Amino acid sequence: MNTPGRHKRKKPLPSPGEWSFELIDAYHVEIDRVAREFKLDTYPIQVELITSEQMMDAYSSVGMPVNYHHWSFGKSFLQTEKGYRRGQMGLAYEIVINSNPCIAYLMEENTMTMQALVIAHAAYGHNSFFKGNYLFRQWTNADAIVDYLIFARNYLTECEERHGEEEVELLLDSCHALMNVGVDRYKRPAKLSLTKELTRQRERAEYLQSQVNDLWRTLPTQLAKAPTVEHRRFPSEPQENLLYFIEKNAPLLEPWQREVVRIVRKVSQYFFPQRQTQVMNEGWATFWHYTLINTLYDEGLLSDTFMMEFLHSHTNVVYQPGYNEPWYQGLNPYALGFAMWQDIRRICEHPTDEDRHWFPDIAGSNWQETFDFAMRNFKDESFIAQFLSPKVMRDFRLFAILDDDKDAKLKISAIHDETGYRRVREILSDNYNLGSREPNLQVWNVDLRGDRSLTLRHQAYLRRPLAGDTEEVLKHVARLWGFAARLEVAHEDGSIECLYECRQDRRKHDKP
């Protein structure tokens, strides 16, 4: 594989500290050219220059250019603001939106070097990942997201005007509490489209309201028949998407409330892939800013001053402290991801015997094709299970600790040695598995014939309990459901235990 642009010395681009629109354009032209030579496939790019305050705005509304209003975004704005004032945030000040065209924000305060770095990182790295990775292709619709958020904000504003801010806020609180159990994990959601959403919204609301009567229909209208029939379970299968279940089945929600539940669910679903591809995505973007900028430097387009500043930032981004250093905060996804992608390239280009043994498929293969395959078809969990090499484990000096609360001491279960590689890799992969990181909760049963209470079941895994604020969440469930909500835990030995019960009869509080 001939790497593009080697050994061609060109006249360097100017590299003043201050950026200008002309310069951004000039740098972008070069970055774009090199990225095309590397065959990066991206959405069209829209670069937007914003102030730090606007960046904080975007940051606090989960990184989106528009979003509905909620106090929790105000809270995160205050947090972000504080962090920024104290200078704690660093390069994190780059936001890219998985939309078509892909919107990348550049902050006014950045130097020209940083702008170039962010363009390479966000507008080419993340952008191509959004366009290629199967999770994003399957779960998000880049064409429609911005329109959908505009629809959502307008709809919620309308709801606030009609039903009062407080009412909407309480509803959103409850929905937010269930956000991480409000995603489909295995089913393709319907595509979003602003026009369709708008035209179908009313229709759907009416239809839903009529469907809800399902609950009432099961009341014994024909007493003669009922006793002999075995009661149908509802839901017939346990369901994992709480918000979806509530949206479709909660008996007492108003149509507008169902729509709000739906909006929160859709937004949550949109971010679902991001939560599962942190290491891959950040590593991919870091790899590409590093590779693109270095290629430009090799061509002679970049000055040494530019490179020094660039390398300084890059090193900060991929810094990984050890477990016993005070600023250790777990594995840095930038560092791990960058190392892994670099390593895959190395395995392809310069494989060792160890690599040939561990990765017979990719050792010595075309690195760009391997990259494309890996980027498209994996998420963090499977990416690590598939591609984490002994070399990276040695470089990071990875080791695993087993913490069993029944044992007095912690146990080192595996380290970066011949006997431990597979085990470490397995554990690290599991650390990134959302399925084991987050509790497994399902809608278990609705007591159709009794008090209409909703029962959730937590499938315990490795004796991990639910956190202390679980009861609070259950209150939110009960508020949405309108009747009592119960939470059971199914222990691994098969025993069932009722953890909390939250009684609620919404009909009493219903306003006329």
Partner 1 sequence: MVRIIDRRFDSRNKSTVNRQRFMRRFKHQIREAVADAISGRSIKDLDNGESVSIPGKDLSEPRFRHGRSGIWETVFTGNDQFSTGDQVNRPQGGAGGGSGKGKASKDGEGEDDFVFNLSREEFLDVFFDDLALPNLVKTQLARIQEYKSQRAGFTNDGTPANINVVRSLRGALGRRLALASPYQGRLRDLQRQLEELLETRPDDDPEVVRLKDEIGVLRAKIDAIPFIDTFDLRYNNRIKVPKPTTQAVMFCIMDVSGSMDEEKKSIAKRFFMLLYLFLTRTYEHIDIVFIRHHTVAKEVNEEDFFHSRESGGTVVSSALELMKEILHSRYANGAWNIYGAQASDGDNWDNDSPHCREMLAQTILPFVQYFAYIEITRGEQQNLWREYEKLLGAHTNFAMQHIENLPDIYPVFRELFKKKLA
* Binders of partner 1 in range 427-456 (CB under 8 A): 427-428, 430-431, 437-439, 441
Q: Which is nearer to partner 1, 16 or 321 (CB)?
A: 321
Q: Does 315 bind partner 1 (CB under 8 A)?
A: no
Q: Which of 17, 220, 330, 435 binds partner 1 (CB under 8 A)?
A: 330
Query: In degrees, to the nearest 5, what angle opens at C-alpha 446 toward C-alphas 171 and 204?
Result: 50
The answer to whether 341 and 370 are in contact (CB under 8 A) is: no
In the range 83-142, which residues lie near partner 1 by CB under 8 A? 101, 108, 123
Least distance between partner 1 and beta carbon 452 (Å): 22
Q: Which are the contacts of 121, defined by CB distance < 8 A and separation ≥ 6?
A: 94, 285, 286, 288, 289
**Cα–Cα dist 179/44, whole Å:** 31
Q: Which is nearer to partner 1, 216 or 323 (CB)?
A: 323
In the range 246-305, which residues lie near partner 1 by CB under 8 A? none
Least distance between partner 1 and beta carbon 270 (Å): 16
Which listed range, 198-206, 246-254, 314-322, 347-355, lies at the site for partner 1 (CB under 8 A)?
Answer: 314-322
Q: Which of 18, 203, 230, 325 binds partner 1 (CB under 8 A)?
A: 325
Q: 24: part of which helix (H) or strand (E)?
A: helix 21-37
Q: With 0-12 CB in 10 A as exposed, 13-18 as middle and 19+ as buried, what is 134?
A: middle
Q: Which of 87, 227, 326, 512 binds partner 1 (CB under 8 A)?
A: 326
Binding mask 15-34 for partner 1 (x = CB under 8 A): ------x--xx--x---x--
Q: Does 340 bind partner 1 (CB under 8 A)?
A: no
Q: Does 196 bind partner 1 (CB under 8 A)?
A: no
Q: Which is nearer to partner 1, 32 or 247 (CB)?
A: 32
Least distance between partner 1 and beta carbon 231 (Å): 28
Least distance between partner 1 and beta carbon 332 (Å): 9
Q: Does 403 bind partner 1 (CB under 8 A)?
A: yes
Residue with token string 């319907």: 190
Binding mask 451-490 for partner 1 (x = CB under 8 A): -------x-x-xxxxxxxxx-xx--x--------------
Cβ neighbour number for residue 181 with a 10 Å cutoff: 22
The answer to whether 470 and 499 are in contact (CB under 8 A) is: yes
The two structure tokens encoding residue 303: 């000055």
Which parts of 178-227 fold into alpha helices (H)? 194-212, 214-217
Least distance between partner 1 and beta carbon 273 (Å): 16
Q: Does 510 bind partner 1 (CB under 8 A)?
A: no
In the range 372-391, which residues lie near partner 1 by CB under 8 A? none
Q: Which residues pair with 486 in a beta bridge?
A: 455, 501
Rounded to whole angstroms, the maximal C-alpha distance in the chain is 92
**Cα–Cα dist 465/191, whole Å:** 36
Name the CA dihedral angle for 166, 172, 173, 176, rounded to a multiple of 10 degrees. -170
Least distance between partner 1 and beta carbon 170 (Å): 11
Which listed range, 69-77, 188-196, 295-303, 344-352, lies at the site for partner 1 (CB under 8 A)?
Answer: 69-77
Q: Does 497 bind partner 1 (CB under 8 A)?
A: no
Which listed range, 216-224, 257-265, 322-330, 366-374, lies at the site for partner 1 (CB under 8 A)?
Answer: 322-330
Which listed range, 87-95, 128-136, 252-260, 315-323, lies at the site for partner 1 (CB under 8 A)?
Answer: 315-323
**Cα–Cα dist 328/320, whole Å:** 8
Residue with token string 């380290």: 415
Q: Does 190 bind partner 1 (CB under 8 A)?
A: no
Inter-CA distances, 478 with 13, 200, 497, Å: 62, 28, 19
Task: Tell me whether the omega of the peptide bond preceding residue 227 falls within 30 degrees of 0, making it cis.
Answer: no
Least distance between partner 1 and beta carbon 272 (Å): 15
Q: With 0-12 CB in 10 A as exposed, 13-18 as middle and 19+ as buried, what is 379?
A: buried
Least distance between partner 1 and beta carbon 25 (Å): 6
**Cα–Cα dist 207/213, whole Å:** 11
- Count residues near partner 1 (CB under 8 A): 100
**Cα–Cα dist 369/132, whole Å:** 13
Q: Which is nearer to partner 1, 100 or 370 (CB)?
A: 100
Q: Does 179 bind partner 1 (CB under 8 A)?
A: yes
Q: Which is nearer to partner 1, 6 or 86 (CB)?
A: 86
Binding mask 133-172 for partner 1 (x = CB under 8 A): --------------------------------x---x---
* Neighbour-count burial for 15-34, b at 16+ CB within 10 Å, e otherwise: beeebeeebbeebbebbbbb
Least distance between partner 1 and beta carbon 409 (Å): 4
